[in-house]
Amino acid sequence: MGSSVPSIGQTWRAIRDRLDTAGIPMAALDARLLVRHVLGLDATGLILSESDPVPGGKVSDLESLVARRLAGEPVARILSVQEFYGLDFRLNPATLIPRPETEMLVDFSIEHLKSHPAPSVADLGTGTGCILLAVLANLPKASGVSVDISADALDQAQANAEALGLADRFGARHGSWFEPLGEEKFDLIVSNPPYIASATIETLEPGVKSFDPMAALDGGPDGLAPYRIISAQARAHLVRGGVLALEIGFDQGHMVNELLSSEGFCDIAIAKDLAGHDRMVTARVPK
C-alpha cells in the first residue's frame, strides 16, 4: 500500500494546475514560491525534497495561501517580499510592490553617478526604498535620503536598508516631497511618484487596485499632480548640473517634458521601457 500523503513535488504541481485553471499567469512560478515559503525551502531545497511528503501541519497553511492567490492577491503581497535589482525588499501594506520597469531608474542612476567621487541622491516617494537602496548597493561611495508621506512605508524602507547592510549611507525623512529636506541639495533626485489619474484607478486590475496602497497610485485628477510639485521645486534641491530622473506613465512623457522645460531644465530626454513604452524622463539643471 502506498502512502496517501502527496509528495512535495506532486503538491506544487497540483497547485500550479489550480492556479493555471483559474487563469493566473506565471502559475508554475507562483506555486513553487508558495510551497517554498510555507516549507521554508530555497529553490534547490524544493528540488531535493521532490519526493518527501508535505508535513501534515503545513497543509492548511499552504491551502490558505493558495486561496489568497486564487482571490487575486499577488504572490509578493502574500509573501511580503519582492526581488528588485537582484535584492530582496520586504513589503508592508503601506508599500508598493516594486515593479521591474522601475529598474531602469536604477540603471540610469548608476550609469550617471558611477564616476562621481561621493554622489548624493534623494528618492522621493521611496516606498520600500527599492530605487535608492539598489543604487547604494551598486555605488559604494554614494549616500542618500528617502522621503515618503507614509510613516509606515518609511519604516519599511529603513528596515530594508538595515537588512541590506546599507543603513550607514541611508537616511529616512518623513513628509511630503521636498518638505522634509530643508535646504539640502543633491547630485541626483529620483522619483517614481503616484501617477495614475484618480478616475482610472477603478479600472486597474484587482491585484493592483485592491492590494497596492492608494497613496502609491493616485496622482490626482490627471495623474500629473506630483510631477507639477516635483518639477517646480526640484531645482532648488539640485546642485548645478544636477539631474532629475522620473518614472512616468506611458502617455505622460509629453506633459512632463513641458513641465520640466517650463521650469528651466535642460537636456530633457524620454526613455522607453523594455515593452517599448515611454517610462522615464530625465533632465538636468543648467551648469
Ligand X SMILES: C[S@@+](CC[C@H](N)C(=O)[O-])C[C@H]1O[C@@H](n2cnc3c(N)ncnc32)[C@H](O)[C@@H]1O
Residue whose CB is less far from ligand X, 61 or 107: 107
Residue whose CB is less far from ligand X, 32 or 237: 237
Provide φ and ψ at 218, rounded to 5°: -80, 110
Q: Could you give the maximum distance between any two Cα atoms of the chain, in Å?
A: 80
Q: Find out whether 72 is annotated in a ligand binding site.
A: no
Asked whether position 119 contacts ligand X by CB under 6 A, the answer is no
Residue whose CB is less far from ligand X, 147 or 224: 147
Asked whether position 231 contacts ligand X by CB under 6 A, the answer is no
Task: Give me the DSSP letters along 84-107.
Answer: ETTEEEE--TTSPPP-GGGHHHHH
Q: How many residues of this chain interact with ligand X, rule: CB under 6 A? A: 22
Dihedral sign computed on CA atoms, order 156, 158, 162, 165: positive
Asked whether position 149 contacts ligand X by CB under 6 A, the answer is yes
Asked whether position 98 contacts ligand X by CB under 6 A, the answer is yes
Stretch (H or E) spanning 35: helix 27-39
Q: Find out whether 148 is annotated in a ligand binding site.
A: yes
Asked whether position 242 contacts ligand X by CB under 6 A, the answer is no
Using CA atoms, how far residue 197 sits from 3, 113, 192, 203, 219, in Å, is: 55, 32, 15, 11, 5
Q: Find out whether 53 is annotated in a ligand binding site.
A: no
Amino acid at 272: K
Find the shortest distance in angstroms from Cβ 221 to ligand X: 15
Asked whether position 148 contacts ligand X by CB under 6 A, the answer is yes
Asked whether position 194 contacts ligand X by CB under 6 A, the answer is yes
Asked whether position 193 contacts ligand X by CB under 6 A, the answer is yes
Distance CA 191, CA 102 (A): 10
Q: Which of 134, 137, 145, 153 touches ligand X by CB under 6 A?
A: 153
Find the shortest distance in angstroms from Cβ 130 to ligand X: 5
Asked whether position 76 contacts ligand X by CB under 6 A, the answer is no
CB 226 within 8 A of CB 125: yes
Distance CA 255, CA 248 (A): 10
- Identify the three-state secondary structure at position 177: coil
Asked whether position 130 contacts ligand X by CB under 6 A, the answer is yes
Radius of gyration of the chain (CA): 21
Q: Contact residues for ligand X (CB under 6 A)?
A: 96, 98, 102, 124-128, 130-131, 147-150, 153, 176-177, 192-194, 215-216
